[in-house]
Amino acid sequence: MRRVPEHAPIVTAAAMRAAEAAAFASGQSQREVMERAGAAVAVQVARLAAGRAILVLAGPGNNGGDAYVVARWLAERGHDVTVAGLGAPTGVAAEMRAAWTGEVTDLDTVAPRVVLVDGLFGTGVSRPLAADVARALARLRRGAAITIAIDLPSGIATDDGSDLEAAGADVTVALAALKPGHVLGDGAGASGHVLLADIGVPVASHWHTLARPSLEPPPRDAHKFTRGMVAVLGGAMPGASRLAARAAMAAGAGYVVLAGEDRGGPDALVHRTTDADLFGDPRIGALVCGPGLGRDAAASDLLDRALACERPLVLDGDALSLLGADAATRLRGKHAILTPHSGEFDRMFGVGQGSKIDRTIAAAARIGCTIVHKGADTVIADPAGRVTVSAAAPTWLASAGTGDVLAGLVAARCAAGAADPASEAVWLHARAAALAGAGLIADGLIDHIGGAIEECL
């Protein structure tokens, strides 16, 4: 499983440039910042290289400037370093090139070494890599035991993570902040483990990586209703709603109701009919609608009643499919958390423009609800534009029923009155998956929710 720093700011290329400009305006010199960036990367390279031969690739821009600093820092400390260059840097990067007293060989002909440091392109990549550059990079990566990228793997688009012929890295040292390219789409996979280096450039952002929540055990005067009541609407596929209900129980909801005709599930699960009393029950802290609901007239009627009631909603699966393109009008002003995968999201809000972060923010603002846009890169956006990205969840989660478990987790945290139920639930879900290990199934995931909670106490 890859590692990504927790609660790290995420900024676009433009926002990073603005932060750098502000730092320069406040008196820092670009030379100082580049020296700091190079040194921060070099410390990690030295640690990971452990005495092995290092090849540093230096590109034509400031990412290449950082690379020349890395090479100089390592050589000064006795490491075995060679450099291959692409293009002629300008400005401060040219000064760093001049300060490197060793040879600079050609990218096309250089032989691979055990440790590869990729400083070809960072946030300034503006188009797909030329075929010869992509080929050389891929060849050198294949010939290396470990590849460490400076700021971004060369050829990953900074703002949306799309692949512009990148070869990828095992470790990426992000400078000052993470970029969407480290956490979204192909870029998330290409970045490998991500480390965050402080280069003295302050960065403010409303976007962050997911962090372990801080939770409390129930207080001494707790009883089942103060811990949160969750109701799950059953439907055509009872297994899915049962998974959501069981997950809510395991996540600490004090009283969980499975509403409908299904009488299955554990003994502690309370069964009720979907009558008016249920939808008017003021004790319900979260009503889950969607897992296993079905898409027939009965399902549609249950969704209508859920939307008409005053309780906080967690909408998933079939509820989202039933809403489809009407989601924007029908959900506006509702207290709801939506948990679509990308197919459901696109059906509700259209494919649209921009990165997954941009599109999720726009949809959350449009409907005034929090959206958990699921995937290998889960993006959580609230209507105020705050974003949390989960980019390191185990890929074993890609199996039937894990989304139903997540809906139950969100509902339990919502009913418990958590400040950020969606992010907490996504963290617990990913952690339970890590504890469940390889080959997990949704039922087994539930058994590890308690263990995940223990790590947050």
Applying CB under 5 A, which residues contact K ion?
A: 118, 122, 149-150, 154
30 scored as a contact of ligand NPW (CB under 6 A): yes
Report the C-alpha gap between 44 and 14 in whole angstroms: 26
Find the part of the chain contacting ligand NPW (CB under 6 A) among 122-130, 327-335, 370-378, 408-416: 122-130
Tokens, residue 262: 């299904």
Q: What are the φ and ψ backbone dihedral angles of 426, each rounded to 5 degrees?
A: -65, -40
Residues 9, 122, 187, 252: which binds ligand NPW (CB under 6 A)?
122
Q: Select the binding partner of residue 207 from ligand NPW, K ion, none (C-beta < 5 to 8 A, by kind).
A: none
325 is in an annotated binding site: no
**DSSP label of 245:** H
User: Which C-beta is closer to ligand NPW: that of 151 or that of 262?
Assistant: 151
Least Cβ distance, residue 151 to K ion (angstroms) = 6
Residue of 196, 197, 188 lying closest to 2 (CA atoms): 188
User: Residue 205 half-sphere exposure, CB side, CA atoms within 13 Å?
Assistant: 26
Distance CA 262, CA 351 (A): 36
| Spatial CA neighbour of 205 closest among 185, 179, 174 | 179
Which stretch in 54-62, 214-222, 298-306, 339-347 sits in contact with ligand NPW by CB under 6 A?
A: 54-62
Residue 5 sits in the site that holds ligand NPW (CB under 6 A):
no
**Binds ligand NPW by CB under 6 A, chosen from 33, 40, 58, 381:** 33
Give the C-alpha distances (Å, rounded to integers) separating 71 from 91, 96, 112, 153, 293: 18, 10, 16, 17, 59
Beta bridge partners of 150: 173
Question: Is residue 20 a contact point for ligand NPW (CB under 6 A)?
Answer: yes
d(CA 155, CA 135): 12
Q: Which does 116 bind (CB under 5 to 8 A by kind): ligand NPW, K ion, none?
A: none
For the bound state, the minimum distance from the C-beta of residue 24 to ligand NPW, rounded and expressed in Å, comes to 7
- 210 by Cβ neighbours in 10 Å (0-12 / 13-18 / 19+) ranks as buried
Which of 4, 19, 34, 229 touches ligand NPW (CB under 6 A)? 34
62 binds, among K ion, ligand NPW, none (CB under 5 to 8 A by kind): ligand NPW
Tokens of 85: 């260059």
Count CB atoms within 10 A of the CB of residue 359: 23
CA 387, 391, 397, 398 torsion-angle sign: positive
Name the segment binding ligand NPW (CB under 6 A); options: 71-79, 121-129, 266-274, 411-419. Answer: 121-129
Cβ contacts of 282 within 8 Å, gap of 6 or more: none
Q: At 329, which amino acid appears?
A: T
Based on the shown chain and the rule CB under 6 A, indicate whether residue 10 belongs to the binding site for ligand NPW.
Answer: no
Select the residue interacting with ligand NPW from 12, 44, 123, 423 (CB under 6 A).
Answer: 123
Binders of ligand NPW in range 188-247 (CB under 6 A): 199
Residue with Cβ nearer ligand NPW (150 or 313): 150
Instruction: Sort residue 364 into left (φ over 0), alpha (ψ -120 to 50) or beta.
Output: alpha
124 binds ligand NPW, rule: CB under 6 A: yes
Tell whether 62 is in a known binding site.
yes
State yes or no: residue 258 binds ligand NPW (CB under 6 A): no
Is 118 assigned a ligand-binding role in the annotation? yes
Judged by beta carbon distances under 5 to 8 A according to partner kind, the member of K ion, ligand NPW, none in contact with residue 37 is ligand NPW
- Smallest CA-to-CA distance from 373 within 445, 313, 422, 430 is with 422
Residue 395 DSSP code: G
Residue 124 annotated in ligand binding: yes
Contact between 167 and ligand NPW by CB under 6 A: the answer reads: no
Altogether, the residues listed in the chain come to a count of 457
**Identity of the residue, 17 or 263, whose beta carbon is nearer to ligand NPW in the bound complex:** 17
Q: Is 51 annotated as a binding residue?
A: no
The annotated binding site for K(+) is made up of: 63, 118, 154
The annotated binding site is made up of: 62-66, 118, 122-128, 151, 154, 240, 292, 341, 374-378, 403-404
Task: List contacts with ligand NPW (CB under 6 A).
Answer: 20, 30, 33-34, 37, 59-66, 121-130, 150-151, 175, 199
